[in-house]
Structure 1
Amino acid sequence: MVAKDNSKSREHFGSRLGFILAAAGAAVGLGNIWGFPTQAASNGGGAFLLVYLVMILVVAFPMLVVEMAIGRHGQANPVDSMRALTPNLAMKKFGAMVGWIGLSVPSMVLAFYSIVGGWLICFLLGAITEILGLESATKWLQGFSIERNLFGTLAFYVLTILIVQGGVKQGIEKWSTRLMPALFVLFGLLFVYIMTQSGATEGLKHYLVPDFSKVMDGKLILAAMGQGFFSLTIGGCSMLIYGSYLSKKENLPKMAMHVTLVDTSVAFIAGLVVMPAMFVAMYKGVQIYAEDGTLLSSDTLVFTVLPLMFDSLGLLGQLFAIVFFTLLTIAALTSSISMLECPVALVSERLGTKRSSTSWILGGLIALFSTVIVFNFGNLFGLVATLATQYVQPVAALLFCVFGGWVWNRSSKIKELEQGCPDFTLGWFGKLWPVYVKFVCPVLVATVIWASFS
């Protein structure tokens, strides 16, 4: 089926700030607030932070420009945007296949991500019921029963679908411009509060002062590269679809840099909050590190260590537990809406269906898959998460990169970026970028894939 031309009727973001906050929101998720501090704690704190910041600029940013440019050029869903990159019929078919592979990433990620989002909602409600003295409700909400997990997952889907069905301006942009500032405010409150606790200063020092002897460690560099890569959801289609809603008048590299800076700021601030919080917990007697220096409970840090810290601080700690889990729920939602938007955009554009009904039907289908995972948690959750994030997403990113670097005609690529940025080829970035994404980026992405297999 050939898709109709959507460029004239296509909805766009209403403002630059709306786009930046929505795209940054798509990138900001549990990977920033949960994954990044955990990686930093496991890999030498300040040394990891330093290498991560370099990797964001060296690996993630140039590829973010590629994905956003593909989306804006195609003015369509990932499949049709990939087809639009070349006039060659055989390559169009290959491009469509790459689009479908890319499209499978947000759908697979949403299937397990929504379960974690459900846990956050339950912990948030549990923190409220604990203050209210509802012991049985608190126990149920903070437990790990199938019924509780199913309740949380479905609640998270309902919130996600309600936002996506509103469309680009009235749904995604409207809520991103509310949720993202709320995220920064809540982070600020938590940081001020945690820094008043004993042990916090030591944690802050561990996070901000790099041990330069660890900076050139191969494992640390690969971990930082992988984290930077996933932090901006490279290969996840979210940036491609949001790029397709971006006006041709906008300076695309500049917008991509703004998104990168907001996303990286959230990861950095998350470290400012979580790392000192870990050391506060250690001061309170909670074991964080094993005797060999490895991080304990890295996968469940957010759900075990930090709540223990809040509990040890009395009523005020319980109030800040509500703030913390509200913050995490917001971060999870800003990502999940971009994940659902990818298949919704494809179906509504291809079949001409109403956005509201498409959002509920597709959201319901992916929720059904999540329900299967909930009932077979031990066998499926880790499998789906690993398959999506360690294998399919990096492969999709590599294919986007190869297609954007080699198949997409250089002059067409430059022309797309000159729209909104007429002086693109005059600056050093404009001269370097086409060659960089053609030769350097594929090698770096292939290295991330190799690291995930080894």
Structure 2
Amino acid sequence: MNQSDQSRESFGSRLGFILAAAGAAVGLGNIWGFPTQAASNGGGAFLLVYLVMILVVAFPMLVVEMAIGRHGQANPVDSMKSLTSHPVGKHIGGLVGWVGLSVPSAVLAFYSIVGGWLICFLFGAVTDILGMDTATAWLKGFSVERNLFGTILFYVLTVLIVQGGVKQGIEKWSTRLMPALFVLFGVLFIYIMLQDGAVEGLKHYLIPDFSKVMDRKLILAAMGQGFFSLTIGGCSMLIYGSYLSKKENLPKMAMNVTLVDTAVAFIAGLVVMPAMFVAMQKGVQIYAEDGSLLSSDTLVFTVLPLMFDSLGLFGQLFAIVFFLLLVIAALTSSISMLECPVALVSERFKTKRTPTSWVLGALIAAFSVVIVYNFGAMFGLVVTVATQYLQPTAALMFCLFGGWVWHRHSKVKELELGFPEFQQSWFGKVWPLYVKFVCPVLVATVIWASFG
């Protein structure tokens, strides 16, 4: 192993790892994507299928990605190379690592723009209460200047956390931000449930319409959502896995991350779906005539603020809580995205973490600035390329490499560290074959569905 020196950092505690990895997975996809998908696909039916898909598709893949990282104890490129001793295999593994590494960099380029919007809306909610109308209009309006301001501020916050390293940066902040996320959600949920129309929304969300459960569109949507929810193929899990102690039970840790991530998506639905129905009571139009969701991509920026506005001062205060929550969710993901290239450069070139974080952050930020200036032409394109092409392709390659190139014996040995009875357990009997044959088919299906 090329990284066996003792200087490599690791997570200080189990909880720290679980919250950081779940934080990496918990992003706008859970809080914004999941409720929107549920609202578009029959509420409870989608929730049910989603829970099944998380266990069948996402969880086994998460174990693969974390195991590759922990086995290699290095950045994605060197970790992929460590899976085989064959020179050609090593070369291809390195290339797969580079494809994987392109995912968080491309995603961060557009994600930070959205993160910037959230920061601006958060400030806008504050200036609204203070009666600073001009500032509020600027912060909530859509202008190049405002987008640049938000984006750059979001990058600065991300870099400040990443430069602290694994224990002092990522772990320290994840263990503060993630509990804050749950507390804020709890407060919002209680508040929304006291409004008219909320109970209807809750029923729509929790009671499945079983006639829709077998709907092909719904199943594919749930599969894709589960897949992206855990950032499979996004490298974050691989890099966090590489900071995980060899003494830990890997499948158990992966399951904990999956549970926290799914809990956040579920709770987001508990808040957003009733909030949509409250907004409908207040006369805000949410569904079109044919039952499809209006403005599904801007739900967070249009529908919910309208609802908060209609609820007077309390509503304004809760707008602050809501956007703070979204900024936290976005940050816990962006730090894992920036960590991927930072780990590679600082390990390969033995550079210091702080300058590396700032330089790489600035490089990706420069790309974001180009997108901001050419928003109409580039934003949607970058989102599509990153999420529909790069990420599923990286996931498929990780899966094929983890299933076919990485020898079963070596794979089993990695999982037996911290879980000695792995081979005797049903998971140990099923998983190696499942990763080899079932997972690639499922990932290929997600890719196929995104073209459909």
Letter in 2 for 1:362: L
* Structure 2 counterpart of 1:412: 410
**In the TM superposition, what are the counterparts of 1:200-239 in structure 2 within 5 Å?**
200-239=198-237
Is 2:451 the counterpart of 1:450? no
1:29/1:334 contact within 8 Å kept: yes
Q: Helix, strand or coil: the match of 1:213?
A: helix
Distance 2:446 2:136 in 1: 41
Distance 1:15 1:396 in 2: 29
Letter in 1 for 2:211: S
1:23/1:259 contact within 8 Å kept: yes
Letter in 2 for 1:303: F
1:6/1:76 contact within 8 Å kept: no
Query: CA-to-partner distance for each residue in 1:37-94, whole Å, 9 max, x for gaps?
Result: 0000000000000000000000000000000000000000000000000000000000
- TM-score when normalising by structure 1: 0.99
* Structure 1 counterpart of 2:192: 194
Distance 1:61 1:5 in 2: 27
Distance 1:356 1:98 in 2: 27
* Structure 2 counterpart of 1:364: 362
Is 2:313 the counterpart of 1:299? no
Q: 1:335 Cα deviation (Å)?
A: 0.1
Is 2:83 the counterpart of 1:85? yes
Letter in 1 for 2:152: L
* Structure 1 counterpart of 2:116: 118
Match of 2:314 among 300, 313, 316: 316
Letter in 2 for 1:326: L
Match of 1:392 among 376, 390, 393: 390
Distance 1:448 1:25 in 2: 23
* Structure 2 counterpart of 1:335: 333
**In the TM superposition, what are the counterparts of 1:43-54 in structure 2 within 5 Å?**
43-54=41-52
Match of 1:437 among 431, 435, 438: 435
Match of 2:426 among 425, 428, 436: 428
* Structure 2 counterpart of 1:158: 156
Is 2:274 the counterpart of 1:267? no
Letter in 2 for 1:325: F
1:71/1:77 contact within 8 Å kept: yes
Q: 1:10 Cα deviation (Å)?
A: 1.1
Distance 2:363 2:85 in 1: 34
Query: CA-to-partner distance for each residue in 1:404-432, whole Å, 9 max, x for gaps?
Result: 00000000000000000000111111100
Letter in 1 for 2:337: M
1:33/1:271 contact within 8 Å kept: yes
Residue correspondences, number: 452
* Structure 1 counterpart of 2:243: 245
Distance 1:92 1:423 in 2: 30
Query: CA-to-partner distance for each residue in 1:250-297, whole Å, 9 max, x for gaps?
Result: 000000000000000000000000000000000000000000000000
Distance 2:200 2:425 in 1: 43
- TM-score when normalising by structure 2: 1.00
1:4/1:350 contact within 8 Å kept: no
Distance 1:235 1:174 in 2: 25
Q: Helix, strand or coil: the match of 2:211?
A: coil
Distance 1:26 1:275 in 2: 24
Distance 2:259 2:134 in 1: 43
Q: 1:8 Cα deviation (Å)?
A: 2.7
Q: 1:9 Cα deviation (Å)?
A: 2.2
Letter in 1 for 2:254: A
* Structure 1 counterpart of 2:55: 57
Match of 1:35 among 24, 33, 36: 33
**In the TM superposition, what are the counterparts of 1:374-393 in structure 2 within 5 Å?**
374-393=372-391
Distance 1:10 1:125 in 2: 38
